[in-house]
Amino acid sequence: MTTDGLQITGLGKSFGGLRALDNVDLTVKPGEVHALLGQNGSGKSTLVKIMTGVYAPDPGAEMRLWGRKINLPLTAPHHHGIAVIHQDLGLVEDMTVLENLGVTSGYGARAIAPISFRRERATGRQLLKSVGLDIDLNKLIYELSPAERATLALARAQRLLQEHSEHFVFVLDEPTAYLSAEDSRRVVALMRDVADAGSAVIFISHRLQEVTAVADQITVLRDGKVADRFAGDEADQQRIIDAMLGRKLNAYYPNRTVPAPTASVLKVRGLTGRRVLSVDFEVAPGEIVGFAGLVGMGHEEIPYLIAGATPACGGSAMFDGIELLGQSARAIIDRSVSLVPGNRQRDGVWTDALARENLALLENRHQLALAPLRLSQERGSTLSAMQRFGVRPTEPDHRVGQFSGGNQQKIVLAKWMADSPRVLLLDEPTQGIDAGAKFDVLNMICDAAAKGTVVLVASGDYEQLANICHRVFIVRYGQLSAVLEGEHLTSANIARHAQGDLREAG
Ligand SMILES: Nc1ncnc2c1ncn2[C@@H]1O[C@H](COP(=O)(O)OP(=O)(O)OP(=O)(O)O)[C@@H](O)[C@H]1O
Ligand SMILES: [Mg+2]
């Protein structure tokens, strides 16, 4: 038995009748990056929340840190040397970047010493620099892009680590879900450094490529139980997925149909936002068009500008000859234009409301103004949408916040796609969705396109873009710097163009 690092034995957790964790053992040694994997709803975040005192485990569990037995439920995890980035990042929306960097660390102040804002700013700038983030310390969190938020959460955890000289248990629950390939490589490298310095690192991700690149050990959960464990160098994606699903997955990506050549229906001219500058493109019915680029280059802004969720500063987006820009949200929805936002905590769902209430928001517009909303009808249509999108558990009356992260994302997709939109605008549509469910979601996107929907998708998952899109635009410094299609449309080419390295690209 090791006397250091983290040791958990006999961990169980029930929510009413649901057994989210069942007799789980987990040991993470210092210097180790330990990947905790499993399907959506398999219990990963629940384990993390127990490790940080958010939930009390069922009786019988034991936890040791650096050989010492810890009383459960845990209080003040950072006093025990546990630093966590939760799936929802835990940033305070209406506070500034600087304030968020200070909150968990008590502003680096000694008990009686006053807070030095000058020192705070200097430390803040230095921290942002260390994670390669170029943002104003006075910006409010809700003004940041998903990638900026994730990186900021990391910087904050890093500060916590730096302020304690002891070794740490560093837990990252899907820190890279919002990030581009380059940014997630940076996060993975940071994780490696933290482990190499003697900390125990637990890493949760559905991006198996980065998992196999960094993990020393892997534990796979299935339905709250440990389904398999293996050393990182014995793991390949196929083996991990089989262990996660308990079955073989035959294909990672659906077949894409080639749309019949028709005239464009979406015509974008001179589109200008905060980051994109006078962008022009056209899309025909049935086309899936991707937008990729490094964080902050503007690709992620395009779906929001067209949907009017971010007001455009100029340009035009004509759909079927009608201008979309400057319309009300209601008018956009009435034109059958749907946006699936990348930040579901902020824009995607109403987490305190029930699943059926979220899913009904759009349905209700089909109701005649005076017709009473029939509850049984609402429940019935929600149930079928949840089944189609594989939301688990299929409980229309659960609060959205009670679903696992990936299942919340499926609810967002069900809400905006159930209605067969004519234009589907997506930002990181499969973030947090497990390998098995990802295939189903992508299949539904490809199906929608095959029926004539115009699909625009912004993503940092280059492999996914290369596999589902017909064309991918690269955005650099707010402009479309390249378009990749046919044999040139590969994830390697997307990455090269996104980085502005044109030497080997097609
Ligand atoms: N507060 C809660 N009340 C009721 N059920 C809950 C609660 N929190 C989690 N659950 C349930 O516990 C199970 C495990 O959820 P958990 O969030 O740990 O999954 P996960 O492995 O992190 O999934 P994902 O990959 O989607 O993030 C799910 O079935 C979820 O619906
Ligand atoms: Mg989770």
Which of 245, 275, 307 terminates a domain? The answer is 245
Q: Give the strand pairing for 225-231 and 266-272.
A: unpaired
Range in 83-97, 138-152, 290-304, 369-383 the model is least confident about: 369-383
Q: Are residues 311 and 427 in the same domain?
A: yes
Helix (H) or strand (E) segment spanning residue 21: strand 18-28
The residue whose C-alpha atom lies closest to atom 10 belonging to ligand 1 is 402
Write down the pLDDT at residue 504. Answer: 47
Q: What range defines the domain where residue 292 resides?
A: 266-336+420-499
Ligand 1, atom nearest to 404 Cα: 17
Which string of DSSP letters, residue by residue, matches 135-153? --TT-BGGGS-HHHHHHHH
Instruction: State the distance from the centre of ligand 1 to the C-alpha of 56, rounded, in angstroms.
Output: 14
> What is the CATH classification number for the domain harbouring 430?
3.40.50.300
Range in 68-82, 204-218, 289-303 the model is least confident about: 68-82
Write down the pLDDT at residue 166. Answer: 62
Q: Is the CB of 55 under 6 A from ligand 1?
A: no
Q: Is the CB of 462 under 6 A from ligand 1?
A: no
In a domain, 252, yes or no: no
Classify residue 206 by its DSSP letter: S
Contacts of residue 7, defined as CB under 8 A and 6 or more positions apart, other chains included, come to 1, 26, 27, 62, 63, 64, 65
Instruction: State the distance from the centre of ligand 1 to the C-alpha of 46, rounded, in angstroms.
Output: 6
Instruction: State the distance from the centre of ligand 2 to the C-alpha of 408, rounded, in angstroms.
Output: 10
Q: Is the CB of 405 under 6 A from ligand 1?
A: yes
Instruction: State the distance from the centre of ligand 1 to the C-alpha of 41, rounded, in angstroms.
Output: 5
Q: Are residues 289 and 193 in the same domain?
A: no
Residue 302 has pLDDT above 70, yes or no: yes
Q: Are residues 189 and 324 in the same domain?
A: no
Q: Are residues 313 and 445 in the same domain?
A: yes
Q: Is the CB of 180 under 6 A from ligand 1?
A: no
Write down the pLDDT at residue 26. Answer: 97
In a domain, 146, yes or no: no
- Count, in order, helices (H) and strands (E) of the chain: 15, 20
In a domain, 240, yes or no: yes
Q: For 63-143, where are the alpha helices, taking DSSP H only?
A: 97-103, 117-130
- Tokens representing 123 are 């430390």
Count other Cβ atoms within 10 Å, centred on residue 205: 24
Q: Is the CB of 219 under 6 A from ligand 1?
A: no
Query: What is the number of domains present in the chain?
Result: 2
Instruction: State the distance from the centre of ligand 2 to the C-alpha of 9, rounded, in angstroms.
Output: 20
Q: Give tens-digit pLDDT for 156-213.
A: 887 776 666 567 888 999 888 767 777 788 788 878 988 998 889 999 999 998 899 9
**Cα–Cα nearest to 426, from 392, 461, 381:** 461
Helix (H) or strand (E) segment spanning residue 231: strand 225-231
What torsion, rounded to 10 degrees, do the Cα atoms 47, 463, 342, 388 define?
A: -80
Helix (H) or strand (E) segment spanning residue 37: strand 33-38
In three-state secondary structure terms, 434 is: coil
Q: Are residues 277 and 424 in the same domain?
A: yes
The residue whose C-alpha atom lies closest to atom 17 belonging to ligand 1 is 404
Q: Are residues 288 and 239 in the same domain?
A: no
pTM attached to this predicted model: 0.84
Q: Give the largest Cα separation in the chain, rounded.
A: 71
**What confidence tier does 370 reach under pLDDT thresholds 50, 70, 90?**
very low
In three-state secondary structure terms, 29 is: coil
In a domain, 470, yes or no: yes
Write down the pLDDT at residue 164. Answer: 61
Neighbours of ion ligand 2 (CB under 5 A): 44-45, 87, 404-405
Q: Is the CB of 176 under 6 A from ligand 1?
A: no
Q: Are residues 185 and 225 in the same domain?
A: yes
Contacts of residue 319, defined as CB under 8 A and 6 or more positions apart, other chains included, come to 265, 266, 267, 335, 337, 422, 423, 454
Per-position b or e across 374-412, b if 16+ CB within 10 A of its CB: eeeebbebbbebbeebbbbeebbebebebbbbbbbbbbb
Ligand 1, atom nearest to 87 Cα: 27
Task: Find how far residue 298's CA is from the centre of its chain.
Answer: 18
For range 266-289, the mean pLDDT: 97
In a domain, 414, yes or no: no
Write down the pLDDT at residue 15. Answer: 95
**Distance (Å, whole) CA 470 – CA 290:** 8
In a domain, 316, yes or no: yes
Q: Are residues 271 and 239 in the same domain?
A: no
**What confidence tier does 506 reach under pLDDT thresholds 50, 70, 90?**
very low
Which of 214, 245, 276 terminates a domain? The answer is 245
Q: Are residues 170 and 240 in the same domain?
A: yes
In a domain, 101, yes or no: no
Q: Is the CB of 46 under 6 A from ligand 1?
A: yes
Q: Is the CB of 13 under 6 A from ligand 1?
A: no
Instruction: State the distance from the centre of ligand 2 to the C-alpha of 405, rounded, in angstroms.
Output: 5
Instruction: State the distance from the centre of ligand 1 to the C-alpha of 439, rounded, in angstroms.
Output: 21
**Distance (Å, whole) CA 150 – CA 175:** 6
Q: Is the CB of 43 under 6 A from ligand 1?
A: yes
Q: Is the CB of 38 under 6 A from ligand 1?
A: yes
Strands of the sheet with 288-292, listed across from one edge: 337-340, 423-427, 454-458, 288-292, 471-476, 479-485
- Tokens representing 127 are 């921290």
